[in-house]
Homo-oligomer: A and B are copies of this chain.
């Protein structure tokens, strides 16, 4: 049996899980890709802390170039995360003609095209199944599964932390802060949860998926992002009453000459498949012109699911090395079309609006008059409970309108003396 040697850069949580899983499933992995796979070197800044997995300490080095410059190593696995030095290490590895497997969403969402071009120039593969959706094979699903389709849209629940928080708020009526605290205690949220709850993680992931699906470079900075921190139980319960649930959705749509890429908490109908994706799970609903709507679902993070994705990339590369042949596992990677990114102001959507208003006559008249001036038509209006003279929430949903009109209207409404707090807005995706 032929042997393929690999080196690992970054021996943290995911790297530790990878080693354990490579070992546990060694037999089936090697049988299925027709060769022996051997990890020969591991580079990490920290070579002293003991990892909770069985490994040969002699493999460990704090000099990353012992991996990058080793002529025996054909596959480099990059698991340090972040932009630099990951980008440099990956670039150097590709320049040496090594294949690279990475789960680094931030790096790809910022420097993807540059690295894919470099891979192509050097006849190397750069695979990244683990960068989006944990163990869910969404990258292969797009690149190979539905590669014949003109992909119209992707709607994804891509962040397990946010989905856990929103699910708990919906199921148990708990507040955002108390669920966040609980999630941190359970290890489902980081001590500093900003990256997840502000939507940055989802934005990185949708940038990668949209690039693949639409065949053009879409960077993190191209994505409009709103997080879930402002959501109150008011939103959760009114959404329910109106037949919706609230999810942090990453949305990418292909218009003819423009693309639309955004991340924000979104009202989706209760009978939408994505509404069933609960807890820390992820779900990605893709619409193609032939396939219609198809969904990929599963655990979006964690040592084992991410190992599943990373090893599938390793197997693909190992097999193509052994077959001595095609190094192109990468349909859909011609990032060439240049469509304009549609500015968020031009978004067309329907909206959920929450105003905190004084409960007295003519309040609705004043608000709806401002909306009317912007040609915004109201679909539904709920004011629960009476409390004359005091403040109460007034919930409105609108028919489809332009984001610019809504933003102008709520700015205007926010100035009214009958309105307390900044008006709160959610977008609706039917």
A193 at the interface (CB under 8 A from B): no
Give the distance in Å from the alpha carbon of A147 to the alpha carbon of B315 in the complex: 8
A377 at the interface (CB under 8 A from B): no
Give the distance in Å from the alpha carbon of A28 to the alpha carbon of B293 in the complex: 19
A308 at the interface (CB under 8 A from B): yes
A104-112, A321-329, A417-425 - the one binding chain B:
A321-329
Say yes or no: B331 contacts A315, CB within 8 Å: yes
A426 at the interface (CB under 8 A from B): no
Give the distance in Å from the alpha carbon of A137 to the alpha carbon of B148 in the complex: 12
Q: Smallest distance from the beta carbon of A22 to chain B beta carbons, Å?
A: 9
A93 at the interface (CB under 8 A from B): no
Q: Contact string, A137-161, partner B, CB cutoff 8 A, digits 1/0?
A: 1001100111111100000000000
Say yes or no: A291 contacts B320, CB within 8 Å: no
Choose one: B31, B137, B291, B297; the contact of A308 (CB below 8 Å): B291
Say yes or no: A292 contacts B288, CB within 8 Å: no
Say yes or no: A298 contacts B289, CB within 8 Å: no
Q: Smallest distance from the beta carbon of A162 to chain B beta carbons, Å?
A: 19
Give the distance in Å from the alpha carbon of A299 to the alpha carbon of B312 in the complex: 26
A290 at the interface (CB under 8 A from B): yes
Say yes or no: B326 contacts A297, CB within 8 Å: no
Q: Smallest distance from the beta carbon of A318 to chain B beta carbons, Å?
A: 10
With A145-B137, A148-B312, A328-B323 in contact, is A295–B292 under 8 Å at CB? Answer: no
Say yes or no: B148 contacts A311, CB within 8 Å: yes
A396 at the interface (CB under 8 A from B): no
A294 at the interface (CB under 8 A from B): yes
A176 at the interface (CB under 8 A from B): no
**Which B residues are in CB contact (< 8 Å) with A134?**
291
A32 at the interface (CB under 8 A from B): yes
Say yes or no: A25 contacts B308, CB within 8 Å: no
A307 at the interface (CB under 8 A from B): yes
Q: Smallest distance from the beta carbon of A16 to chain B beta carbons, Å?
A: 14
Choose one: B28, B31, B215, B312; the contact of A144 (CB below 8 Å): B312
A391 at the interface (CB under 8 A from B): no
A334 at the interface (CB under 8 A from B): yes
**Which B residues are in CB contact (< 8 Å) with A305?**
290-292
Give the distance in Å from the alpha carbon of A31 to the alpha carbon of B278 in the complex: 38
Give the distance in Å from the alpha carbon of A215 to the alpha carbon of B29 in the complex: 12
Q: Contact string, A187-202, partner B, CB cutoff 8 A, digits 1/0?
A: 0000000000000000
Say yes or no: B273 contacts A297, CB within 8 Å: yes
Q: Contact string, A14-27, partner B, CB cutoff 8 A, digits 1/0?
A: 00000001001100
Give the distance in Å from the alpha carbon of A29 to the alpha carbon of B294 in the complex: 19
Choose one: B135, B273, B297; the contact of A290 (CB below 8 Å): B135
**Which B residues are in CB contact (< 8 Å) with A32?**
147, 331-332, 334
Q: Contact string, A275-305, partner B, CB cutoff 8 A, digits 1/0?
A: 0101000000000111111111111000011
30 contacts between A and B (CB under 8 A): A21-B290, A25-B150, A32-B331, A32-B334, A34-B328, A134-B291, A135-B291, A135-B294, A136-B291, A137-B140, A137-B146, A141-B145, A144-B312, A144-B315, A145-B312, A148-B308, A273-B276, A273-B297, A289-B304, A290-B305, A291-B308, A292-B305, A295-B295, A295-B296, A296-B297, A297-B297, A323-B325, A323-B326, A323-B327, A323-B328
Q: Which residues of A contact B (CB under 8 A)?
A: 21, 24-25, 28-29, 31-34, 129, 134-137, 140-141, 144-150, 215, 271, 273, 276, 278, 288-299, 304-305, 307-308, 311-312, 314-316, 319-320, 323-328, 331-332, 334
Given A33-B331, A135-B288, 11 new contacts (CB under 8 A): A21-B148, A25-B148, A33-B147, A135-B146, A136-B294, A146-B308, A289-B304, A290-B305, A291-B308, A294-B296, A294-B297
Which 9 residue pairs across A and B have the least CB separation, nearest first? A325-B325, A137-B145, A323-B326, A294-B298, A135-B291, A325-B326, A148-B311, A290-B308, A295-B297
